[in-house]
């Protein structure tokens, strides 16, 4: 299974915020740290805020921070949220539904089972699990960037 760029960026953003331990972080800072598009991150932050994963504070001294402890943010929940509009195949909800054999195909059920197994594994981990006891990552993401 391949995750969307939105999911990749969402998980990176959450990891970055987890490493910053409650401090306000700007989208620009995250974009520069990872070398990714600020415009993409704005969209990701908006979605994560709407879903209740992060708090967004506007204004001159605004920024982003986790809305709840990293240990309370399951990776599977984030992935399900960000992947909800990306069907695995065209016969899944949100897909084009143009498959000729769809009414008689058993592949859809097998793929749905496999997708759920994938998310079930992700459910065993939290954002905290991705950053805990990882001093090199903490230095890279929470450090001064030098």
Question: Is the pLDDT assigned to residue 24 strictly greater than 60?
Answer: yes
- In degrees and rounded to multiples of 5, residue 36 shows phi and psi of -125, 170
Strand partners, 66: 54
Mean pLDDT lowest for which of 26-40, 43-57, 67-81, 88-102?
A: 88-102
User: 94: alpha, beta or left, given left = phi > 0 and alpha = psi -120 to 50?
Assistant: left
If pLDDT is split at 50, 70 and 90, which confidence band does 31 have?
very high
Which residues touch 122 (CB under 8 Å, ≥6 apart)? 74, 75, 76, 79
pLDDT (tens digit per residue) in 80-116: 999 887 766 666 656 666 676 667 778 878 888 888 9
Helix and strand numbers (H, E) in the chain are: 7, 2
Average pLDDT (50-70) is 93
pLDDT (tens digit per residue) in 4-22: 899 999 999 999 999 988 8
Structural domains for the chain? 5-142 (1.10.10.10)
């Amino acid at each position: 299974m391949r995750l969307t760029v939105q999911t990749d960026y969402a998980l990176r953003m959450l990891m970055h915020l987890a490493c910053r331990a409650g401090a306000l972080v700007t989208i620009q800072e995250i974009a520069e740290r990872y070398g990714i598009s600020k415009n993409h991150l704005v969209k990701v932050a908006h979605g994560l805020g709407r879903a209740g994963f992060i708090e967004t504070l506007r204004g001159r001294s605004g920024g982003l921070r986790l809305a709840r402890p990293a240990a309370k943010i399951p990776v599977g929940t984030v992935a399900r949220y960000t992947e909800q509009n990306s069907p695995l195949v065209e016969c899944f909800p949100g897909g084009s539904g143009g498959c000729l054999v769809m009414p008689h195909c058993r592949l859809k059920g097998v793929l749905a089972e496999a997708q759920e197994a994938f998310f079930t594994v992700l459910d065993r981990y939290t954002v905290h699990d991705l950053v805990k006891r990882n001093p090199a990552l903490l230095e890279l993401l929470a450090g001064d960037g030098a």
